[in-house]
């Protein structure tokens, strides 16, 4: 399955079609913090974006990966 990563400055919506497991990284203009949303819907044309959390450049990539894997049941 081909997953993708979207980078933007606003939260994803139902118009942001993506395959199951795709990520949306939302950057904030005023800080280094960013949020990650995960597309958890099986139908790419009707995406269901779920907020995984807010992170910083100091956040553990291992923790982020495990959070995503846990949510996807991998």
pLDDT one-digit tens code per residue, 31-74 = 899 999 999 999 989 999 999 999 999 999 999 999 999 999 87
Question: 35 near 55, Cβ under 8 Å?
Answer: yes
Nearest 5 degrees, angle CA 38-CA 39-CA 42? 145
Question: 54 near 16, Cβ under 8 Å?
Answer: no
pLDDT: which is higher, 3 or 64: 64
The closest of 20, 25, 29, 33 to 5, measured between CA atoms, is: 25
Nearest 5 degrees, angle CA 37-CA 39-CA 41? 145
């Amino acid at each position: 399955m081909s997953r993708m990563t979207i980078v933007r400055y606003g939260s994803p919506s139902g118009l942001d079609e993506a395959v199951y497991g795709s990520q949306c990284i939302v950057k904030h203009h005023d800080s280094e913090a960013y949020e990650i949303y995960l597309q958890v819907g099986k139908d790419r044309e009707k995406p269901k974006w779920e907020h995984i959390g807010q992170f910083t450049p100091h956040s553990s990539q291992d923790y982020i990966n495990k959070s995503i894997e846990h949510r996807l049941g991998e």
